[in-house]
Amino acid sequence: MSTALICVGSLVPFTEAGVGAVATQSFVNPYIGIRGVEYLASGLDAQAAMERLAAEDEGRNVRQFSVVDAHGRAAAYSGVDCVGWFGHRTGDGYAVAGNMLVGEPTIVEMARVFEGSAAEHLAERLVRALEAGQAAGGDKRGRISAAVKVCHTEEYPLVDIRVDDHPDPVAELRRLWGLYQGNFVNFMQMMPSKAHPAGTWPSPR
């Protein structure tokens, strides 16, 4: 996700391992993310969760949000009064959405690049999609923050990279993702997990 406001990663993405993910944007309502994950955990699929969230939200006309469940089913909602250009697309395992965009090519390119990188790590696919969206126009107000969040098997995220205030946040996100892959990934592999509650670490020499 990327926007012309600071700290996009703090209020937009909500994820839970084995459950799914929700992104709330356009006059952000964090409770859409919180309740959306709860609805997925209760057994609703992405479409049913999206419909329930939209029905419950009194500000639905200015809201935009996306839902992807653990089976890769996706649904998205864009309120009729979101600021243009706005719209969304969904596909197998993903949803892309945007408002206050330069135009539709932003989400078209994001979807195309995401679909074309299925063999890559999910975080890599998300970074590539953000890069494609930025290259196609992105937010018409400019750019300030960007973030990528991925959950895997644990209750804590596998990847949670945030660029809160930067003149070129997607490029900085790419740099940090590169550092993650080069150094931090080894640390994450040693973290306590459900399979290894004490964590794992190299044997002392």
Whole-model pTM: value is 0.95
38: tokens are: 């709860």
Q: What average pLDDT score do residues 151-172 get?
A: 97
In whole angstroms, how far apart are CA 136 and each of 50, 101, 112, 133, 149?
27, 10, 12, 5, 22
**Can you give the pLDDT at residue 202?**
74
Q: How many domains does one find in the chain? A: 1
pLDDT bracket for residue 183 (50, 70, 90) = confident
Q: Which residues pair with 139 in a beta bridge?
A: 101
Q: How confident is the model at residue 75, as a pLDDT?
A: 98
Write out the residue range of the structural domain in which residue 180 sits.
2-189
Amino acid identity, position 34: I
Residue 196 lies in a domain: no
Query: 3 is written with which tokens?
Result: 């926007």
The answer, yes or no, to whether residue 191 has pLDDT greater than 90, is: yes
Confidence of residue 57 (pLDDT cuts 50, 70, 90): very high
Judged against a pLDDT cut of 70, whether residue 203 lies above it is answered with no
Percentage of residues of the chain with pLDDT beyond 70: 99
Cis peptide before 177 (omega within 30 of 0): no
Split at pLDDT 50, 70, 90, the class of 205 is low
- Residues 13-52: pLDDT tens digits? 999 999 999 999 999 999 999 999 999 999 999 999 999 9
The CATH number of whichever domain residue 149 belongs to comes to: 3.60.20.10
Residue 194 domain-assigned?
no
Given pLDDT bands bounded at 50, 70 and 90, which one contains residue 201? confident
Measured distance CA(104)–CA(36) in Å, rounded: 26
Strand locations in the chain (E): 2-3, 13-16, 20-25, 64-69, 74-78, 87-91, 94-98, 145-150, 159-163
Report the Cα–Cα distance between both ends of the chain, in Å, rounded: 43
Coil, strand or helix: which one is 131? Answer: helix
Candidate from 80-89, 167-176, 181-190 with smallest mean pLDDT:
181-190
- In angstroms, the CA 102 to CA 87 distance is 12
For residues 177-185, average pLDDT: 93
